[in-house]
Amino acid sequence: MQMEEYPEELRTPPVPLVALVGIPDLHAAISLYLHRESPPLNTLALPDFAKVPMIGGKERKPADARMPPPLGILKADWLSKHRTRMPAVLAVLFDRDQVYGDPAQWMQVCTHLDNIK
């Protein structure tokens, strides 16, 4: 089998994924900057907080304590998932007005942060 026949995640070094949430106007500039870093960072842009639960796809199941995972073996699609759907970092962006000023807006910011946790 030729190297070109393997998926990209097996032919290239691991690339971390950064998720950007909020202030969509900044996503393109931040993504461009991160992609130019060495090594480049992939980005996942989420325009609003409603999309955060979709990160990673399925809900996590509790680990079965009786059966530890085998050492040295990756699950199918693990590398691809961590390059495109499961971020290593989640950057939450807020307007300054949402943080300073109206207490109701501050409570909304706190609610968003609690939901992300």
pLDDT tens for each residue of 2-51: 877 888 888 887 888 999 998 999 999 999 999 998 888 989 888 888 77
First-to-final CA distance of the chain: 43
CA-to-CA dists, residue 117 to 71, 96, 97, angstroms: 29, 21, 22
Stated pTM of the model = 0.72
65: confidence class by pLDDT, cuts 50, 70, 90 = low
Structure confidence at residue 79 (pLDDT): 81
Closest CA to 93 of 65, 64, 113: 113
Residue 67 has pLDDT above 70, yes or no: no
Q: What is the C-alpha to C-alpha distance for residues 75 and 8, in angstroms, rounded to an integer?
A: 16
Contact status, residue 112 vs residue 51, Cβ threshold 8 Å = no
